[in-house]
């Protein structure tokens, strides 16, 4: 590894690879995105892991795999990446890639909402309003709706 000042060139290259992989994903060039993001995901980058999960979940540029989608989403969520926390909540809520577990879904939506995701707070509000995976509680629902509004400002 080569160091320039306090920054290693390898870290710079990882940032460039991440940016290139994310750009390829956004451009729907999924085979390039996989090529760029896969090594970063393996190395523990939560953004790359999240994007790999999405590609496996939807069969974007590779063979669809619920098992690998869940593996990568769980890995990224384990590093507290907010979008992955939301994604894992969604998987548990709808039983996609994993057995349906609304209580676990609520836990992940709460973690994501507490990290600033308005959509997670809104979903959690709906879950409390409907008693889905949590005890029905109109006051708690309003609390999460309000948080969602605050996060959108």
Query: How many structural domains does the chain have?
Result: 2
Residues 36 and 64 in one domain: yes
At 12 the pLDDT is 61
Residues 11 and 61 in one domain: yes
At 153 the pLDDT is 83
CATH number at residue 114: 1.25.40.10
Residues 99 and 150 in one domain: yes
Q: List average pLDDT for each run of 10 residues in the chain, which is 153 residues long.
A: 37 79 94 94 96 97 96 98 97 97 98 97 98 98 97 89
Residue 24, in any domain of the structure: yes
Q: Nearest Cα to 111, choosing from 151, 69, 78?
A: 78
Residues 100 and 144 in one domain: yes
Ranges of H-type helices in the chain = 9-26, 30-42, 46-58, 66-78, 82-94, 102-114, 118-130, 138-152
Residues 5 and 55 in one domain: yes
Query: Max Cα separation, the chain?
Result: 57
Q: Round to whole Å and give the CA distance between 144 and 141.
A: 5
Residues 111 and 131 in one domain: yes
Residue 75, in any domain of the structure: no
Q: Round to whole Å and give the CA distance between 115 and 71.
A: 22
Half-sphere exposure of 153 (CA within 13 A, CB side): 6
Residues 57 and 95 in one domain: no
Residues 63 and 37 in one domain: yes
Residue 89, in any domain of the structure: yes
Residues 28 and 90 in one domain: no
At 3 the pLDDT is 33
Residue 53, in any domain of the structure: yes
Report if pTM > 0.85.
yes
Residues 85 and 152 in one domain: yes
At 1 the pLDDT is 34
Domain, as residue range, for 40: 1-70
Residue 91, in any domain of the structure: yes
């Amino acid at each position: 590894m080569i160091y320039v000042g306090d920054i290693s060139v390898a870290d710079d290259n990882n940032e460039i690879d991440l940016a290139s992989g994310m750009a390829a994903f956004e451009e729907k060039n999924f085979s390039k995105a996989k090529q760029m993001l896969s090594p970063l995901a393996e190395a523990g980058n939560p953004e790359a892991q999240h994007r790999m999960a999405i590609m496996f979940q939807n069969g974007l540029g590779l063979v669809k795999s619920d098992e690998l989608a869940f593996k990568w989403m769980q890995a990224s969520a384990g590093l507290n990446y907010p979008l992955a926390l939301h994604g894992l909540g969604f998987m548990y809520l709808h039983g996609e890639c994993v057995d349906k577990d609304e209580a676990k879904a609520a836990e992940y939506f709460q973690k994501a909402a507490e990290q600033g995701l308005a959509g997670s707070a809104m979903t959690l509000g709906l879950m409390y309003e409907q008693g889905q995976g949590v005890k029905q509680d109109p006051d708690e629902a309003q609390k999460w709706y309000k948080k969602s509004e605050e996060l959108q400002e």
